[in-house]
Amino acid sequence: MSAAPAADELTALESDVLGAVANADFSGVYDFDRGRVTEQVPQVDVAVIELDEQGRIRDRANVLVSRDYPDGVVAPIDDSLSSSSVRWQRWEQNRFDGSGVYGEGTDIIPGREDAPLRYMSTYPASLLKSMAAFGLVFLSDHGAIDLEADYTFDGVTKPIQQWTSEMIRMSNNTSSQAMIKMLHEVRYEGQTGIEFLNDELQRLGLTTLQLQGTSATTGGGWSNGGVSMTSFDTARLDLILDGGSGGVLWTTDAGVDVASDVLSEEGRDWLLDIWSGSAYHWMLDTGNFCGWTTPYTGESQYPAVGIPAVVPESSLKADGTSTIAWAGSPFASIDVRPCNETAEVTYYNKYGLTYNAGSDAGIVRSLEGKDFRHYIIAVTSNLGYRYGDEELAATGNACLSNESSFCYTDRFPVLAGTIDAAIAARGAAGPVETPEPTATPEPTVSPEPTPSATSVPTSTATPGSGGEGSGADPSEASGSDAASGSDGGQATGSEAGAADDGSLAATGSDAATALTVLALLALGGGALALTLTRRRRTAGE
């Protein structure tokens, strides 16, 4: 579609991120569904906003990888701190896999038909829960919600803070449905809370952040057609949370000055406290896999360390193993504490995972005495647990195998670790300079490509017991990314979201016989029974 800006037009961070993408080499990921290295270059959207000690913007970068841009392309950032040079399109699995025309889809933002870059933005998976949490604070700041109140969902009553904490820290789907349903029920100035949230995101210039089409009855229905999150807008949402200088962060095209005070200080603190207790450190940072090795990947830790972040002590059991462990998985035996002792940063994050989507976004801050870094990173991709690394091909699917249980490709922590090292090398020295907007490439047409861990309450439930420590029925679809929505993987695997039943249906090709595997994912100290339908290839396939 377009050539990248010249190297001498890039900022330091843009050069760093572009180089990190090249080093990660996403074209080499392994497709467990097809049993080979992926035929198509994956869709990977990487955004980083580098900050100084006061939370002021030092630099920013957005790099896109796709079959249009297999080596990565820098998406220019304009004066409104937006990637307006990109024609963002909604994810359609069939177009990616080849049964539809790639590049001819539904626009997320109308009117960008002539934009020099195009990108089919992937389903955000449970990263979407971040939008719901922000919506709660937006409405609380306007007096429409009392965050200290209780809420009853499906016969269970809990404090709103507990529902939200479970939604973010444990990526609990039942809690997420509860909060999204509540957003539908709340009224403010003639709108539902969900309508207000979507309008507020648009007003703030976060135009690709959309939580549309969800069910007012169940709080589910998180489908591709209405839910979208690009990485740079996701990073800007976190910037509102962490850009604490008090100054204007960006000004929208409509002239709205956006600063961190669009959220109250109390609301920001409430969200940061919740974010600080995230239990899942397994995509861009991999503390949950501290020192882990596999029979297939040699003596070095697998996956790579990535961002050298501390895993919150509150997410660990007394023996240092993770509360997200399920029986037989590496998590059940890995003592995370040695890696916490050598950690250099905190990473307040929210991840997402489905069969055809993998995402992670959050705020990185250096620990006392470590090389300075303060930045926000967001990565969205189509690389869910359908994909991984070729070295683990013998497992059938690395995520579903207790020989690995790593649900992403190792290229993600490699990418993040490279970016973190580059930012750490810059340190805190030097003045903050507002980067000039990157030159926007001219449109061209190409042929279709052949501080410390914050304490949070720790559940006492044991893996596989079914208890969340919250009174929820363990038979519910209460776990992470059990997909009340769908990743749209029609031909190649989709989460069984249409039925809102919480199962992950990892389907393969038509010429296959089904093998149903029961996997237990411990979430919040409890467990979720996921019916994982895998396809065993026939001899002639």
Q: What is the CATH number of the domain that holds 385?
A: 3.40.710.10
Q: Is residue 462 part of a domain?
A: no
Q: Is the four-CA dihedral 102, 108, 113, 116 of positive or negative sign?
A: negative
In this structure, is residue 536 part of a structural domain?
no
Q: Quick one: which of 428, 453, 454, 451 has its CA closest to 56?
A: 428
Q: What is residue 187's three-state secondary structure?
A: strand
Question: Which tens digits make up the pLDDT trace of 513-540?
Answer: 223 222 333 333 333 333 333 333 333 3
Both tokens of residue 138?
Answer: 């937006």
For the CA atoms of 78, 239, 51, 121, the dihedral, rounded to the nearest 10 degrees, stands at -50
Give domain status of residue 139, yes or no: yes
In a domain, 390, yes or no: yes
Least confident among 71-75, 77-81, 441-445, 477-481: 477-481
74: confidence class by pLDDT, cuts 50, 70, 90: very high
Q: Which domain holds residue 173?
A: 12-426
* C-alpha angle 420-51-171 in degrees, rounded to nearest 5: 65
Residue 18 has pLDDT above 90, yes or no: yes
pLDDT (0 to 100) of residue 509: 31
Token output for 123: 């389903």
The pLDDT score that the predictor gives to residue 436 is 60
- Alpha helix stretches (DSSP H) within 446-523: none
Mean pLDDT of the chain: 83
The residues, any chain, with a CB within 8 Å of residue 321's CB and separated by 6 or more, are 331, 332, 333, 334, 335, 336
Q: Is residue 532 part of a domain?
A: no
Q: Is the model more confident about 223 or about 297?
A: 297
Residue 216 phi/psi, 5-degree rounding, is -70, -20
Please report, rounded to a whole number, the percentage of residues in the chain having pLDDT higher than 70. 78
Using the structure block, give the residue that is written with the tokens 């038909």: 113
pLDDT score, position 500: 32
Query: pTM for this one?
Result: 0.84
Say what the alpha-carbon torsion angle 512, 44, 284, 407 is, to the nearest 10 degrees. 0
How does residue 487 score in pLDDT terms, banded at 50, 70 and 90? very low
Say if 267 falls within a structural domain: yes
Please count the structural domains in the chain. 1
> What are the C-alpha distances in Å from 152 to residues 181, 520, 526?
10, 27, 20
In single-letter form, the type of residue at position 356 comes to: N
Report how far residue 363's alpha carbon sits from residue 272's, in angstroms, rounded to the nearest whole number: 10
Would residue 386 count as lying in a domain? yes
540 lies in some domain: no
pLDDT at 512: 31
